[in-house]
Amino acid sequence: MASENTLGQQYYILPEGATRLIGREAQRTNIAVAYAVASIIKSTLGPKGMDKMLVSELGDIVITNDGATILEEMNVEHPVAKLMVEIAKTQDKEVGDGTTSVVVLAGELLKNAGDLIEKGINPNTIIKGYDMAAKKAADLLNKYSVPIGLDDDDLLEKVVLVAGGSKNIGSDSTRKYLAQLVIKAVKQVAEKQGNKIVVDKDYIKVEKKEGGSIEDTQLINGVLIDKEVAHPQMPKSITNAKIALLDVALEIEKTETDARIEITSPEQMESFLKQEEKMLKEMVDKIAQSGANAIFVEKGIDDVAQHYLAKAGILAVRRVKKSDIEKLAKATGAKLVTSLDDLSPSDIGFAGLVEERKIGGEQMVFVEKCKDPKSVTLFVRGGTQQVIDEAERTINDEIGALTAALELGSCVYGGGAVEASLAKELRDYANEVGGREQLAIQAFADALEIIPKTLADSAGMDPIDTIVQLRSKQRTKEGMVYGIDVYKGTIGDMSKLGVIEPMKIKQQAIASATEASVQILRIDDMISAKASQPSGGAGQNTPPAGEED
Ligand code: ADP
Ligand code: MG
């Protein structure tokens, strides 16, 4: 790429083949890309949204309604598209639900900004207006809060059903069945800290195995380990198990023995092996003395040690993942021990049952019936891989939503109701602010309405007419409850329909959609060092096969 200096000489600052987009052109392109990404997943929004089938290069098939999953599987190239994928991922990580909404909202914010730019409004004015609107919206949300607590079983179920409602995982009774499992799981690990509720989602393990049906999904009051019992002679089932967690290799380290000992006679060899055996037996004795009868070991267990463990009636699982050991500690109350000399009865945990069972042709170890475990497992079953994968995504959304609702203690009305309420308030705010920012704040308000608009569209309603009606309904007293009844195809009372969502989803979505749009709007120069490839990816002289006419 060449530029000219004042003397009219050409000089190069970028490698040959680099591309550059400047000013309006860069903005236009970026907005178009962001909007295109949003458009792709828009049709999946809400319970009437459609699924997408994605086929990877290797032919693996994913069928889903999950925004974050779709974007990830699409493998987008453009940096702005990547940014859109990033906000879905952030939403997923921070809240665990609302991934489609955040991307759709960002796309709409950018589209509306693009319209303003075409009208000659400076991007910096738009950025300022958007920031003001986002801040105002965050404050206003509290006005629309519906409180929720651990004992509001009815509300908890609604939150879960709405969060999982857009995914196709079966009949209403199946959904309710899963919802109850999720509620039990979250309540079980929830802890009160002062007047706050904290849920560490890491301690709700979601394990899945093909086979059975979704209704065979179960909640295990403890941890399911996808490993087998180390030795066939060991017990396969222990009731009232006393559990030890060991970060100790029940082996003789090979380097210790190989390096120094020179064996010159068969007798020496024999005594050497005896010695090794004795050491291993001593290890097992220490374990037995502690009272443990089920052990979970992060490292390996030597064959000889396995033999002695079996003889002592101890069930052992080896090479257990660190994360599973942590979950076991939370579930059973056992303390991880790093040296056998430290192992004492106070380190021992408890489970009502430790049992190896054959599931779908593979052995798994169930550590269950724990006493008030602070770590549980949802064991997802279903006919095909696709089914259990989508069920797992549903459960993750549900856990995320319920956690978000409980941690903040606040919900809002869904079905586009809260977005419509905020849009209404922001329009009033725009009038107060006046000036050029007013236009940006109005554009922000319009963008929020993309949620009810899209839901209306998915329900076969006319989006424009519906929004006009929704606006006037929202202006009535107690109007905040009105949103889209996607099943009836009308505007409905979300409080009656039980469509409520965690407030945190909306907070996070508005914050990250705004942040991403502002970030994209600030870009007025796109320099790409990568040479732009001719379409088809092949060299110019070799047109890709089968692409001519
Ligand atoms: P996201 O990935 O953003 O969570 P979803 O596909 O889960 O996307 O759709 C969420 C949207 O669907 C929210 O705006 C929510 O209020 C709405 N929604 C969910 N259930 C219903 C329902 N029964 N009636 C109307 N809207 C609903
Ligand atoms: Mg959702």
Q: Are 290 and 343 in contact (CB under 8 A)?
A: yes
For residue 47, give the ligand nearest its CA.
1
Averaged confidence pLDDT in the chain? 90
How do the domains of the chain map onto residue ranges?
21-146+412-528, 223-372
Q: Which fold has domain 21-146+412-528?
A: GROEL; domain 1 (1.10.560)
Res. 546: pLDDT tops 50: no
User: What confidence score (pLDDT) does residue 113 get?
Assistant: 97
Q: Clarify whether 99 is annotated catalytic.
A: yes
188-223 b/e (C-beta count within 10 Å ≥ 16 → b): bbbeeeeeebebebebbbbbbbbebebeebebbbbb
> CB of 405 closer than 6 A to ligand 1?
no
Residue whose CA is closest, atom 20 of ligand 1?
Answer: 162
What's the gap between Cα 178 and its chain centre?
18
Question: What is the structure's pLDDT at 259?
Answer: 57
- CB of 398 sitting under 6 A from ligand 1: no
Res 294: pLDDT: 97
The bound ligand whose nearest atom lies closest to the alpha carbon of 493 is 1
Q: Is the CB of 166 inside a 6 Å radius of any atom of ligand 1?
A: yes
- Number of Cβ within a 10 Å radius of residue 463: 18
The 3-state DSSP class for residue 534 equals coil
**pLDDT at position 536, please?**
40
pLDDT digits (tens, 9 = 90+) for 144-193: 999 999 999 999 999 999 999 878 888 889 999 999 999 999 999 999 99
pLDDT tens across 385-437, in order? 989 999 999 999 999 999 999 999 999 999 999 999 999 999 999 999 999 99
Give the whole-angstrom CA distance, residue 21 versus residue 7: 25
**Alpha-carbon distance 128 to 144, whole Å?**
25
Reported as a pLDDT band with limits 50, 70 and 90, residue 68 is confident
Two tokens at 284? Answer: 């097992």
Residue 66 designated active-site:
yes
**For 61-65, 100-104, 235-239, 447-451, which range has the lowest pLDDT when averaged over its residues?**
61-65
Residue 549 in this model has a pLDDT that exceeds 50: no
Residue 341 annotated among the catalytic residues of the structure: no
Model confidence at 40: pLDDT above 60? yes
Q: Has residue 50 got a pLDDT over 60?
A: yes
- 65, 66, 486: residue to mutate for ligand 1 pocket, most atoms within 8 A of CB: 486
- Superfamily covering domain 223-372: GroEL (3.50.7.10)
Query: How many Cα atoms occupy the beta-carbon half-sphere of 375 within 13 Å?
Result: 21
Helix, strand, or coil (residue 370): coil
Report pLDDT digits (tens) over 179-232. 999 999 999 999 999 889 999 999 999 999 999 999 999 999 999 999 999 999
pLDDT tens for each residue of 357-367 = 999 889 999 99
Ligand at shortest distance from the CA of 44: 1
| Residue 164 Cβ < 6 Å to ligand 1 | no
pLDDT digits (tens, 9 = 90+) for 240-251: 999 999 999 999
Confidence of residue 535 (pLDDT cuts 50, 70, 90): very low
Residue 22, pLDDT score: 84
Which residue, 162, 138, 34, 41, is CA-closest to 454?
41
pLDDT in tens, 473-510: 999 999 999 999 999 999 999 999 999 999 999 999 99
Which residue in 97, 302, 347, 397 is the catalytic one? 397
Query: Ligand 1: which residue has its CA nearest to atom 25?
Result: 415
Options 64, 90, 99, 466, the catalytic residue: 99
pLDDT in tens, 284-304: 999 999 999 999 999 999 999
Separation of 67 CA from ligand 1 center, angstroms? 12
What average pLDDT does this structure show over 128-147?
A: 96
If DSSP codes are grouped into helix, strand and coil, which group holds residue 396? helix
Cα–Cα dist 159/183, whole Å? 10
pLDDT at 547 over 60: no
According to DSSP, the residues that pair with 500 across neighbouring strands are: 413
- Helix, strand or coil, per DSSP, at residue 386: helix
